[in-house]
Structure 1
Amino acid sequence: MKIFENRWFIMLVLLAPLNFLFGVDRNALSVTAHYIQPELGIDYVLMSEILVISTAVYALLQIPAGWLVERFGVRWMLAGACLVWSAATLATSMQTDVAGFFGARILLGIGQAPDWVACIFAMKMLFPENDREGASSLLLAASYTGFIASGAITPYIVENFGWRNCFFWYGLIGIAFSLVLFFGYKGQETDKLLPVSCLSGGTNTRWNAELIWKIAQIGLYYGAVCVQHGFFFVSFPHFAGSSLHVTPVLAGTLFSVLWLVLYLSVLFWGGLIKYLKTRGGGDWLRGNLGRSVGLMASAVLLALGVSWGSLWASMLLLCLSMSALGLCQVLTWSHVQSISGATGIAAGVTQLVGNGFLALGPVVFEILFKEYSAWTHVAILIAGIGLLGSALWMVPNASAIHSTRTEA
């Protein structure tokens, strides 16, 4: 049936729900950490290490995941990824000690590694260039909807049925959906125009200083973006309890509010950029200036929100920070897809660096909080890294440097 090959059908019925599950499963342990810590008898630093080990593994496997997607195709990798990470989620429900939790989270990182790279490839093959910001924003929104749902629903399930049942049912649902993906995905599976991509050093890729700088630039930029995501993803529940003095259930609700803002933000920015394109404008927003200002604004607003003592003032600033991060996310992934002949390695490197910072950031935040019993130093670190990442887009690229030297 032609409907199964329709790009919007594939996006809305297969890719979006997959990334919704990705968000739910990835965030579930962050929201339930407060309930599990007393059972394990561990502090926030060790708990943060358990939480981010999956992100570290996820980051390390990004480039191999890109290679596997190109070799075996989108359908096999997405269905296999969903099956493995859902099995890891189910296995989490059976753990009784720290080692077991580390093992389950490592398996989760292995399973989730191919998801975003495979989705980037799918979107590149399904959508023309003018529609990619909009498609990227929808896919990001689906993932953030999973974070929203997990923050709102997971504490309720844990309170009424226990955290083990929560992970058990999340895992079963994901395993079932992996079968839907395998039999339902009918889109193009590999990029026929690039049979051997830059990941294997094929002839289609011309490696030069400009291309290397483009990949390094977007990777480091996304690393700075993910430092902030690390705070929202892992550290916020602890911050909300220790600084804003809210209950775990309310912390989960506030967590969902923040990710709802991010969800609305990526949809807004994706729609605005598409509208400006149709009007023949918006180059300033989707270019270097937009990436730079977006990251600078989100970092400063996050630092102010962390430093503020009032619940409502802090949440307002954090929501504004999340809205600016939405612009950064949309611009990151549309830029990755625009790196001609190197989409695979650009996506892999960007995910590697970004998720490396996402894994490291929360551990450093918890160490700083443990050392100083305050979030002030965390705020300073976040602001500093954000400003450095913003400055990356003020550095001229290799072609501009070459042109300047030639003219001289």
Structure 2
Amino acid sequence: MPMSGPKKTKKRWFMLFLLFILTAINYLDRTNMAVAASSMSQDLGFNAATMGLLFSAFSWSYGLMQIPGGWFIERFGSRIAYTASLFFWSLFTMFMGIGRSFAALFGIRLAIGAAEAPAFPTNSRVVATWFPSHERATATSIYTAGEFIGLAFLTPVLFWILENYGWREIFYVTGFVGIVASFFWYFLYRDPGAKSGANEAELAYIRKGGGLGSQASEKQKITWSQVTELFKHRQLLGIYLGQFANTSTMFFFLTWFPTYLVMSKNLPLLKAGIYAVIPYIGALIGVLLGGYWSDSMLRHGSSLSKARKLPIICGLLCSMTIMSANYFDSLNAIITVMAIAFFGQGMAAIVWSTVGDVAPSHSVGLAGGVFNFIGNLAGIITPIVIGFIVQATGSFVGAMIFVGCVAALGVFSFIFIVGDIHRIEG
């Protein structure tokens, strides 16, 4: 009988576990202000429009720093980029606890957004380097699940801290956790290669399946022609627009949703924290189902385009149902609608894997930065628009219509603009 080769290691799954933990921390640091918002606004005298501007501050700098963040990743690699990003955004998060004016808090949120800019492009780069194509959507869905597991199970903890200690302590606790995690990432993460702990069988498996593998260790020189190239292709432009649409739903839940429950439904803080868990669990189920469904279609012979686009389109259609919350008075019915909408947002989150599928192999980190820049313009627009709608009308009815219509724009983009999904080589 012929000798079989050594069994491949599973180091890629350990690296994915690290991404999962860091993504959970990332989203706690994005949503902690949503939990603190009702108490913060009362303590500091902020109205809804002012809070909308404060919510948006993160995304102004986060979006603007995406392309520089992508350059930083390509220049210094995933290990250094994530370490620096996590350490500084966590440090600035702790500073939020000492802010006492709109100007100070706005400036600190700008700093948090700038520091977080390399995080998700690094996630995309790590998955593209460590995973073959047929595992990439599953890997993306697993680290993305970290967003919602952290939100679902730790949001009530944040409300408990708020109830028993105050809104400032929320920022002290979440910031400290991130600083500790930054050291674990630095000492544990490695790109694929001889020092990564992966054997040659696993490295060959990654390369054969289209993973970038050891190419990730090569420092890239970024030129303006590479940047402009990322705006010339129909597939990428459609993907950018789809991410903008999906991110709009997400930012409603990350910013205004807890306040919606407290202000619009008159829920006490701890009860709002408990009800807020249900849509987060819906999003968790959606993101896991989306990744599994996409890769399962690939394994059963579907085209890459069908396997990626179908779950994304179905997810965005589910997100559009958020508009129906305007027609229910029952809290249970409204929470069910919200769970369906956030389930859809989670399912469509595999749009991140399409960046690794489509971007030129020499610009995956940079493309992730551009993609996240366009997508997170929604983080600027959505909180401000909702804040002014609530301030002007005294209700969230117009806000639900706005979020649903933007989700419909994403459906249009993936049906009519994106076209065939394949890697752009140039």
User: Common fold, TM-score beyond 0.5?
Assistant: yes
CA distance in 2, matches of 1:372, 1:340: 43
Q: Deviations over 1:161-193 (max 9, x none)?
A: 222233222222211211111122123499754
Identity %: 23
Aligned pair partner of 1:381 in 363, 377, 402: 402
Aligned pair partner of 2:356 in 333, 337, 361: 337
Match of 1:350 in 2: 371
Cα pair distance change 1:4/1:16, threshold 3 Å: farther
**Is residue 310 of structure 2 the alignment partner of residue 305 of structure 1?**
no
SS of residue matched to 2:191 = coil
SS of residue matched to 1:187 = coil
Unaligned runs of 5+ in 1: 401-408
Give the C-alpha shift of residue 340 in structure 1.
4.0
Cα pair distance change 1:212/1:285, threshold 3 Å: closer
Greater mean alpha carbon deviation, residues 115-124 or residues 96-105: 96-105
CA distance in 2, matches of 1:23, 1:157: 17
Give the C-alpha shift of residue 201 in structure 1.
4.7
SS of residue matched to 2:358 = coil
Give the C-alpha shift of residue 235 in structure 1.
1.4
Match of 1:323 in 2: 343
CA distance in 2, matches of 1:42, 1:186: 45
SS of residue matched to 1:338 = helix
Cα pair distance change 1:206/1:96, threshold 3 Å: closer
**Is residue 282 of structure 2 the alignment partner of residue 266 of structure 1?**
no
Cα pair distance change 1:160/1:374, threshold 3 Å: closer
SS of residue matched to 2:190 = coil
Cα pair distance change 1:312/1:74, threshold 3 Å: same
Aligned pair partner of 1:276 in 293, 297, 304: 297
Aligned pair partner of 1:200 in 196, 220, 223: 223
CA distance in 1, matches of 2:403, 2:77: 38
Greater mean alpha carbon deviation, residues 267-276 or residues 222-231: 267-276
CA distance in 2, matches of 1:386, 1:396: 15
Give the C-alpha shift of residue 84 in structure 1.
0.2
Cα pair distance change 1:7/1:314, threshold 3 Å: same
Cα pair distance change 1:284/1:345, threshold 3 Å: closer
**Is residue 77 of structure 2 the alignment partner of residue 73 of structure 1?**
yes
Match of 1:244 in 2: 265
What letter is aligned with 1:233? L
CA distance in 1, matches of 2:162, 2:178: 18
CA distance in 2, matches of 1:59, 1:68: 15
Give the C-alpha shift of residue 197 in structure 1.
5.8
What letter is aligned with 1:7? R
State the aligned residue count: 393
SS of residue matched to 1:29 = helix
What letter is aligned with 2:341? S
Cα pair distance change 1:220/1:340, threshold 3 Å: closer
What letter is aligned with 2:223? S
CA distance in 2, matches of 1:75, 1:196: 12
Cα pair distance change 1:291/1:180, threshold 3 Å: closer
What letter is aligned with 1:308? F
CA distance in 1, matches of 2:418, 2:240: 14
Instruction: Write the mapping of 1:2-401 to structure 2, written as runs, cut at 5 A.
Output: 6-12=11-17, 14-188=18-192, 193=215, 195=218, 199-201=222-224, 207=229, 212-281=233-302, 286-299=307-320, 301-330=321-350, 332-341=351-360, 342-395=363-416
Give the C-alpha shift of residue 292 in structure 1.
2.9
- Assess if the C-alpha contact under 8 Å between 1:243 and 1:309 holds in 2: no
Q: Deviations over 1:368-397 (max 9, x none)?
A: 122122322223222322222211233256
CA distance in 1, matches of 2:179, 2:82: 12
What letter is aligned with 1:384? C
What letter is aligned with 1:46? T
Give the C-alpha shift of residue 399 in structure 1.
8.6
- Assess if the C-alpha contact under 8 Å between 2:234 and 2:417 holds in 1: no
- Assess if the C-alpha contact under 8 Å between 2:294 and 2:308 holds in 1: no
Cα pair distance change 1:132/1:289, threshold 3 Å: closer
Cα pair distance change 1:368/1:334, threshold 3 Å: same
SS of residue matched to 2:376 = helix
CA distance in 2, matches of 1:61, 1:208: 16
CA distance in 2, matches of 1:292, 1:365: 24
SS of residue matched to 1:237 = helix
CA RMSD of aligned residues (A): 2.7
SS of residue matched to 2:233 = helix
Cα pair distance change 1:251/1:207, threshold 3 Å: same
Cα pair distance change 1:235/1:306, threshold 3 Å: farther
Q: TM-score, normalised by structure 2?
A: 0.85
